[in-house]
Structure 1
Amino acid sequence: MWTRHHKKRKLGRLVLPAVTVAFLSYFGYHSIHGGFGLRAAQEFERQRVERSAELAELVSQRKRLERQVELMSDGSLERDMLDEKARYQLNMSRPDEIVIFNKAL
């Protein structure tokens, strides 16, 4: 009876660990640098904080504008407010007046 005896190759023992290292390296790299990796998560968080601050600013600006519209709406129209807005828009004043512009308006 003939049997074959194979020499144990040193290279054969390294194939599975090499494939495993390549597999783990690929997914490890993409878990940090990929589109949904750790660096992308940091960028998403930075954008979220930045846009939350912008939203808070826009909400306060909207409330301020709504208050101005409320003061100018029918029933509670204040002549001073209307006069002030008209002068500001037309850039006009009387000769005996001193005009101080406030950026909050």
Structure 2
Amino acid sequence: MPRAATRQRKKSVFRRLITPAIAIAALGYFGFHAMNGELGLVGRAMIERQVSELETELSALAAERRELQARVSLLRPESLDPDMLDERARLNLNLVHSNELVVLRPGHRYEIN
């Protein structure tokens, strides 16, 4: 009697669970990173908070820039403000008129000529 050339084996429980286990592990990995990754749901909240902080800082800097531009425009030759010129000259040259009152503030260095 000839022997059977093929032999059928009963699939073990371990072999039946390999594919579902790999699929569950992959889903768990991607699910974890979708929640906690840099661009996940938690990361998105952090990015939105940073955006709002930076927008607040931008508006403060824009207001400061507008103020500085207004002060610089007073020093332009075509629209020179005499009071601004006097203020800057006194500050840079460290001079006052003889009839003015000088208020010294603590924490500033003053040179007496």
Considering the TM-score relative to the shorter chain, is it more than 0.5?
Answer: yes
Distance 1:62 1:99 in 2: 29
Tell me which structure has the larger Cα radius of gyration.
Answer: 2
Distance 1:89 1:36 in 2: 52
Whether 2:22 is the aligned partner of 1:19: answer yes
* TM-score, with structure 2 as normaliser: 0.68
Q: Paired residue for 1:79, among 76, 79, 82?
A: 82
* TM-score, with structure 1 as normaliser: 0.73
State the one-letter code of the partner of 1:60: A
SS in 2 for 1:75: helix
Runs of 5+ unmatched residues, structure 2: 106-113
Structure 1 residues 18 and 88: CA distance shift in structure 2, 3 A: same
CA RMSD of aligned residues (A): 2.7
Structure 1 residues 91 and 48: CA distance shift in structure 2, 3 A: farther
State the one-letter code of the partner of 2:56: A
Query: Shift of residue 44 of structure 1?
Result: 1.9
Whether 2:101 is the aligned partner of 1:97: answer yes
Query: Shift of residue 94 of structure 1?
Result: 3.7
Query: Shift of residue 8 of structure 1?
Result: 4.5
Runs of 5+ unmatched residues, structure 1: none
